[in-house]
Structure 1
Amino acid sequence: MAQRTFWIYYILLLNTTIQMVNGGFRKLFHKDIRYERLSLLNFTEVSKEYGYKSEEHTVITEDGYVLTLFRIPKGKNCHFTVQRTPVLIMHGLLLSSDSWIDSGPEAGLAYLISDDCYDLWAGNVRGNYYSRNHTRMNPDVDPEFWKFSLNEFGVYDLPAIIDYILDYTRSIKLNYIGYSQSGGSFVIMCSERPGYCAKVSVAIFLHPAAKMTNAKSQALRIITDVYQILEPILHNPLELEALPKGGYIQKITHDICQNDFIADKICRSILTMLDSYNPGSISVSTIRALTGHFPAGTSVRVMAWFSQVLNKEEFQNFDYGPVMNMKIYGRNQPSTYNCNATTAPVVIIHGESDNIVSKKDVEWLKDQLPNVLEVVYVKNPLWNHFDVPYSQHTREMLYPKIGEYLFKYSGNGVG
């Protein structure tokens, strides 16, 4: 009880301090801030700046969540016929589709894939700023809007997005790229929604987050543990939204990190505190751009779910406690996901300096999946979790293997 009370007061004090600092900082310095222009733009606007034509699509899930999906049908540097099998790329925790373009056309995976003549689709799961809408509920008024974890990403969001893309492109299958939480969400989908694995030619997991008990990031553990403590006692919808775009933390980070020196020293140190150090991998301009889009928001329950997977040996549904588990699942413990149901061919790409998803947990996941084609470790020994969306070296370090499997599993997806 004492520890619980400490964390409640700690998070309230931290929130108040951030509000005061943010308000004072913006009043004093806001007029003098020179924002990275791309940090103020959305996906279609940023891609247009670089000469890429993109589209915005709307997907509605079975339970009424309105998701935004972006498409680059043909890259600016694609001079051949576009491959027939579409490619879906999904973001990680607290990110959005913007994470695939923040590092620019020379490194952003959305650009690299579309330039390689693939029909590129970048999705957003419920709760981030691109998918903060519902057919019946208002996220600012209805607490039920925020009652979701990764389970709903896999059960509702991914199936809806996949069905939409296949219907729109008249394809039989697509290729899937899932980063971090979107690797785990794919496994959940295959476990809970029979038949959807058969709609994917190949699934490429980038640093997949499933079981995470060996994660080294103490900062991630502390942050998610606070949300795990607070989740059962929060009821206001504005409290149930975690780290939104436009919130105090995102605003003050965006403002402070527009200074090149601060972005390089302080903001880079924050990324290092959460993950590990890879000097020079993420450029200062990318740090300035990404802080306009990150954090992108999610539910408190998603953050609490990550606290659970960091501390449990099983990859399982959300744990509400014995009493609520009995009401929801009919048993004291939550149900465990059937990883063996992930029958689609899987390629795992990982970095050995990832402090968020460890090599041990990746190897565990590999052993649970029935159809792993290859596990690839990036040649750079310092390659870490945040390097996947943001490194300026993605073209050399990450894309060759992605491109190899996209090419191998493309071209046969049209009915």
Structure 2
Amino acid sequence: MTSKGFYIFNILLLISIATLLYAIRLPINTETKISWGYPKDSLFNFTELTNEYGYSSQEHTVVTEDGYILTMFRINKGRNCNGKTKLPPVILMHGLLQSSDSWLDAGPDAGLAYLIADECFDLWVGNCRGNYYSRRHVSLNPDTDHQYWQFSVDEIGYYDVPAMMDYVLDHTGADNLNYIGFSQGAGTFFIMCSERPGYCEKANVMIALAPAARQTNTGSILYRFIMESVYTIEGILKKTSVGEILPKGSFSQEFLAFFCQLNSMTGSICTTVQSLLDAYHPGSVSNETTRVLYGHFPAGTSVHNMARYGQSMMRNDFAKFDYGKVHNLELYGSEEPPKYNLSAVTVPVVTLYGRNDGLVDVKDVKWLLKKLPNVVEEMAVSDALWTHLDVTYSQYTRTLIFPKIYEHLQSNSYN
């Protein structure tokens, strides 16, 4: 087979797999999963999980300016909080293909949402458009309207993050808040600062955990291959009306949830796959957390958002999506997509990152920090093997990253 023929074959194979993963769903009921031995935490939603461990939580609905209906959760009382609630409120935002549940999957001894709530902070946990908690719109049907899925981090940063900030400030009556963003959750905050004047000033501090902005040096071969492949075939998928990718309840998610909880051997295989997707850090993510997290991950996003990441790996800057010269002229008024104005990120920024991160490379973090005008502290996690996914799932979160997070939340809070 010629190299061209081999390339076309692989593209068609990827299209078939993507379509299969999108179209085939396995609606396995909870009772069946329990009988098969699924860990109960993998079957619980956010409020059920928090209530199970003695935390009080509430569900809130946020509507963006462009009509997307988002879900936020508020933990207003930690199980181990014995004092007054600290102000201002804190927003905690997840990464790509995750949901608010990712901050709970490591359990109350390591899940960052539990740890923050235990220190009496008024914690609000967000969900961006397209995941299973925020898969609604005031007029578009995600199941039938392809237009719903025409979004990426560009829109999440422009609409979702400001909408959640406004909702929290309006609901609590606070004048400002503290923001913690992981990966995509950090990059979209920077987009907001660039595109929405005045919003950066609504935060006292922005704690960026492995922030995803430029991804030129992403080291994971598997992750890069997936993202660049989706970018390559996005146009074809659009013609077949495939706009959603890796949703909860899809074949891919249900298979992972089933396979990873079967026994210790399959759990080890799943841990190995995580290492191939990110980087190797033996023992950091416990077997129990691995069994739980695949009940909530992947949480779904748009094909266009995945393609956006694929394109970002081919660039050496942090810019809006490149649609080509003709469409760029129509949309942006220029042949090249505008670069995000990182000098507009005037909020004090604290950055924590891992030296073994396979998805957000240290070189790209360093590039980002040089562009930001108000970096008050940057910290490489002391464990040299700390990876990207360790931020949400490691059993060592309490000792390796939470003390620094707590330090800056505390110094920017009051009772």
Query: Does TM, normalized by the shorter one, top 0.5?
Result: yes
Note closer, same or farther for the CA distance 1:129–1:31 as it changes in structure 2 (3 Å cut): closer
- State how far apart, in whole Å, the 1-side matches of 2:215 and 2:228 are: 14
| Alpha-carbon distance between aligned partners in 2 of 1:330 and 1:18, rounded to the nearest angstrom | 37
Aligned to 1:279: 282
Q: Does 1:340 align with 2:347?
A: no
Q: Is the 8 A contact 2:353 2:379 kept in 1?
A: yes
Q: 2:117 aligns with which of 79, 97, 114?
A: 114
1:262 paired with 2:265, answer yes
| Residue aligned with 2:357, SS | coil
Post-superposition Cα deviations, 1:253-304, rounded to whole Å, max 9, x if no partner, equal 0100112313432100110001111111101111111000000000001100
Distance 1:373 1:16, change over 3 A: closer
Q: Distance in 1 between matches of 2:169 and 2:107?
A: 28
Deviation (angstroms), 1:369 = 0.2
Q: Who is 1:148 aligned against?
A: 151
Q: Is it true that 1:81 corresponds to 2:63 in the alignment?
A: no
Identity fraction in percent: 49
Q: Where does structure 2 lack aligned partners over 5 or more consecutive residues?
A: none
Q: Deviations over 1:351-373 (max 9, x none)?
A: 10001101111100000000000
Compute the displacement of 1:234 (Å): 2.5
**1:194–1:263 distance in 2 versus 1, CA, 3 Å:** farther
Paired residue secondary structure (1:105): coil
* 1:399 maps onto 2:397 in alignment: no
- Judged with a 3 Å threshold, the aligned counterparts in structure 2 of structure 1 residues 237 and 339 are, in CA distance, closer, same or farther, namely farther
> In the aligned structure 1, how far is the partner of 2:76 from the partner of 2:220?
38
Q: Cα distance, 1:8 vs. partner?
A: 2.9
What amino acid is the match of 1:297? G
Q: In 2, Cα distance between the equivalents of 1:99 and 1:110?
A: 9
2:315 maps to which residue? 312
SS at match of 1:86: strand
Q: CA deviation at 1:3?
A: 6.8
Measure the CA separation in 1 of the matches of 2:100 and 2:22.
27
Q: How far is 1:158 from its partner?
A: 0.4
| 1:37-94: CA deviation from partner (whole Å, max 9, x where unpaired) | 1111100001111111100000000000000000101101000111111010000000
| More divergent stretch after superposition (227-236 vs 212-221) | 227-236
The letter for the 2-side match of 1:147 is Q
**2:370 paired with 1:372:** no
- 1:349 aligns to what SS in structure 2? strand
Secondary structure at the aligned position of 2:238 is classed as coil
Deviation for aligned residue 1:97? 0.3
What TM-score comes out, normalization by structure 2 length?
Answer: 0.94
Matched with 2:142 is: 139
Q: TM-score, normalised by structure 1?
A: 0.94
Larger CA deviation: 38-47 vs 257-266: 257-266
Q: Which residue of 2 aligns with 1:298?
A: 301
Residue 236 of structure 2 is aligned to residue 233 of structure 1: yes
Deviations 1:351-404 (A, max 9, x none): 100011011111000000000001101111110001000001100001000000
Cα-Cα RMSD: 2.2
Choose 37-46 or 316-325, whichever is displaced more: 316-325
Correspondence 1:7-406 to 2 at 5 A: 7-15=10-18, 33-235=36-238, 239-406=242-409
SS at 2:87's partner residue?
coil
Task: Tell me if the contact between 2:97 and 2:301 (Cα under 8 Å) persists in the aligned partners.
Answer: yes
Q: 1:287 to 1:335 in 2, by over 3 A?
A: same
> AA paired with 2:339?
T
Q: Hey, what's the Cα distance between the residues in 1 that align with 2:79 and 2:34? A: 36
From the superposition, tell whether residues 3 and 62 of structure 1 become closer, same or farther in structure 2 (CA, over 3 Å): farther
Q: Distance in 2 between matches of 1:342 and 1:210?
A: 13
| Deviating more after overlay: 162-171 vs 4-13 | 4-13
CA 1:384–1:36: 2 relative to 1, 3 Å? same
Instruction: Give the 3-state SS of the residue equivalent to 1:54 in structure 2.
Output: strand
Change (3 A) 1:258 1:236: farther
Deviation of residue 146 (structure 1)? Answer: 0.4
Q: CA deviation at 1:4?
A: 6.1
Deviation sequence 1:157-185 (CA, Å, 0-9, x none): 00000000001110001000000011110
Compared with structure 1, are the counterparts of its residues 364 and 72 closer, same or farther at alpha carbon in structure 2 (3 Å cutoff)? same
- SS of the residue corresponding to residue 281 of structure 2 reads coil
SS at match of 2:86: coil
Verify the 8 A CA contact 2:22 2:245 in the aligned structure 1.
no
- Aligned CA distance change for structure 1 residues 236 and 293 (closer, same or farther; 3 Å): farther
| Cα distance in 2 for residues equivalent to 1:19 and 1:360 | 34
Provide the secondary structure at the position in 2 that maps to 1:234.
Answer: helix
In structure 2, the CA distance between the partners of 1:104 and 1:326, relative to structure 1 (3 Å rule), is same
| Cα displacement (A) at 1:19 | 9.4
Deviation at 1:321, TM superposition (A): 1.6
1:168-218: CA deviations, max 9, x gaps? 110001000000011110110000000000000000000000011111001
- Partner letter of residue 353 of structure 1? N
Shift of 1:224: 0.7
Distance 1:112 1:157 in 2: 25
What secondary structure is seen at the aligned counterpart in 2 of 1:205? strand
Amino acid at match of 1:399: F
- The amino acid that maps onto 2:176 is K
